[in-house]
Amino acid sequence: MLEGKVVVVTGGGKGIGRHAALTFAREKARVVIIDVSQEWLDKTGPELGDLTDALGINADIRDESAVQRAFEQVVHRFGQIDVLVNDAAIVPHFAWGIPRWPLIRDMDLSFWDRVIQTNLGGTFLCSKHALAHMEPRRSGHIINLYGGGGVTPGGACAYVVTKDAIWTFSRYLAEEVRESNVCVVTFSPQVPIVTEGAPDDAFTRLPTPEVLGQGFVLAAQVPMEQSGQLFYHEDGKLVSGKDGRYE
């Protein structure tokens, strides 16, 4: 069902975003990855190109002009946008065993702003500019990442604030665009994931993005009646969560 569809994955150069991009590429969707790191674009782009028609775009999702240009570039190349995966984020990765972020009383405003504007602001900007192309066609899926699996108090406040806000953003956006037939869902990895750059011992303790299987591919096919819901991947299926937190 996804063959020939155009899928945009932010933060697609590495980690969970790279996994998502590869799963779509194997389904023969046309895949665009947007990443702030040219180095990771150069590494992942050829992998995708071996599987499908792919494009890498270097852009900072905090910059609205850059985001607008990126989505216009996608449409110029492929003619449409069918799926947006808002994955790009600054993540604490405390489960890897790396130092915790500062507590709020010790946190610089610039650090707070960078996390908020990347995680929440980037989700807003990319959704906004994807919708400019989805709504006229009355078709599209937006998949927003919910996090927090394994993140305990103490240095995680800025991150968790963004992810709870993304969950709320997704639910309200789903209602705004329901009449345009654009489906908005939230997807949660539910557990800490280990990716490139983690200490070696973290790979012995934590799952890699492959544990998410076809979760993103399934989320891109959720029917409109389930727009606004939160999902996680379990035993090869999408499971709907009651809210942003799991029992």
Active site residues: 159
Could you give the CA distance from residue 140 to residue 180 in angstroms, rounded to a whole number? 9
Please report the beta strands in the chain, taking only residues with DSSP state E, as ranges in sequence order.
6-10, 30-35, 54-58, 83-86, 140-145, 182-188, 230-234, 237-241
Containing 108, the helix (H) or strand (E) segment is none
Cα angle, residue 228 at apex, residues 32 and 219 outer, rounded to 5°: 40
Strands 83-86 and 54-58: unpaired
Could you give the CA distance from residue 111 to residue 88 in angstroms, rounded to a whole number? 16
Whether residue 33 contacts residue 21, with contact meaning beta carbons closer than 8 Å, is answered with yes
Tell me the one-letter amino acid at 74: V
Which of helix, strand or coil describes residue 8? strand
